[in-house]
Amino acid sequence: MAELWLGPLLRYTDGSCATVWVETSGPCTARVRCSDGASGSAPTFRVAGHHYALVTVTGLRPGTAPSYEVLLDDVPVWPLPDSRFPPSVIRSPGAGEAVRVTFGSCRWAAPPADGKDPVGPDALDTLARRISAGPAAERPDVLLLLGDQVYADETSEDTRRWLAGRRDLDEPPGAQVTDYEEYCRLYHESWLDPEVRWLLSTVPSFMIFDDHDIVDDWNTSAAWLADMRTTGWWQERLMAGLMSYWVHQHLGNLSPAELADDPAWAAVRATPDGTDALRALAERADSDPASVRFSYRRDVGRVRVVMVDSRAARVLEEDRRAMLDPGEADWLREQVLADEGAYDHLLIGTSLPWLLPHLVHDMEGWDAALCAGERGERWARFGEWLRRGADLEHWAAFPRSFADLAGLIAEAASRADAPASVCVLSGDVHHGYIARASWRSDGPGVPVVQLTCSPVHNSVPLTMRIGFRFGWSAPARLLGRLFARHGRCPRPPVKWRKQGGPWFGNQLMTLTLRGRSAHLRLERTGEDETLHTLHTTELTAG
Residues 299-344 have pLDDT tens digits of: 999 999 999 999 999 999 999 999 999 999 999 999 999 988 889 9
- Picking from 512, 521, 519, the residue whose alpha carbon sits closest to that of residue 541 is 519
Cβ proximity of 328 and 297 under 8 Å:
no
Cβ proximity of 305 and 297 under 8 Å:
yes
In the chain, CATH 3.60.21.70 covers 93-538
C-alpha distances in angstroms, 516 versus 302, 418, 446, 450, 452? 10, 11, 11, 18, 22
> Would you say domain 93-538 falls under CATH 3.60.21.70?
yes
Upstream peptide bond of 86 is cis (omega within 30 degrees of 0)? no
Rounded to 5 degrees, what are φ and ψ at 326? -55, -40
Which DSSP helix (H) or strand (E) runs through 296?
A: strand 296-300
Cβ proximity of 15 and 61 under 8 Å:
yes
Cβ proximity of 244 and 177 under 8 Å:
no
CA distance 204 to 367: 40
Structure confidence by residue, pLDDT tens digits, 193-241: 999 999 999 999 999 999 999 999 999 999 999 999 999 999 999 999 9
Specify the pLDDT at position 534.
Answer: 95
Consecutive 10-residue averages of pLDDT for the chain (542 residues): 96 95 98 97 98 98 94 97 94 86 93 72 95 86 97 94 96 96 97 96 97 96 97 97 98 97 97 97 95 96 96 95 97 94 95 97 97 95 96 96 96 92 96 94 85 94 88 94 95 95 96 96 93 95 63
CA distance 378 to 385: 11
Strand pairing class (448-452; 432-439): antiparallel
3-class DSSP state for residue 335?
helix
C-alpha distances in angstroms, 301 versus 12, 144, 350, 416, 426? 13, 16, 21, 21, 22
Cβ proximity of 328 and 312 under 8 Å:
no
Strand pairing class (507-514; 99-104): antiparallel
Specify the pLDDT at position 94.
Answer: 79
CA distance 297 to 334: 10
Specify the pLDDT at position 89.
Answer: 96
Residue-wise burial string across 149-165, b where 16 or more C-beta atoms lie within 10 A, e elsewhere:
bbbbbebbeebeeebee
Cβ proximity of 30 and 51 under 8 Å:
no
- Picking from 475, 233, 461, 459, the residue whose alpha carbon sits closest to that of residue 362 is 475
Model pTM?
Answer: 0.96
Cβ proximity of 13 and 90 under 8 Å:
yes
Question: Distance between alpha carbon 99 and the CA centroid of its chain, in Å?
Answer: 19
Which DSSP helix (H) or strand (E) runs through 20?
A: strand 17-24
Specify the pLDDT at position 114.
Answer: 62
CA distance 316 to 238: 17
Question: Distance between alpha carbon 335 and the CA centroid of its chain, in Å?
Answer: 18
CA distance 483 to 200: 44
- Picking from 101, 90, 96, 99, the residue whose alpha carbon sits closest to that of residue 15 is 90
CA distance 472 to 487: 20
> Would you say domain 1-92 falls under CATH 2.60.40?
yes
Specify the pLDDT at position 483.
Answer: 95
Specify the pLDDT at position 113.
Answer: 58
Give residues with Cβ within 8 angstroms of 82, minimum separation 6. none
441 bridge partner residues:
none
Q: Helices then strands (H, E): number in the chain?
A: 16, 21
Upstream peptide bond of 204 is cis (omega within 30 degrees of 0)? no
Where residue 468 falls (left for φ over 0; alpha for ψ -120 to 50; beta otherwise) is alpha
CA distance 275 to 267: 10
Specify the pLDDT at position 422.
Answer: 97
In the chain, CATH 2.60.40 covers 1-92
CA distance 404 to 538: 27
Q: How many CB atoms lie within 10 A of CB 374?
A: 16
Cβ proximity of 252 and 258 under 8 Å:
no
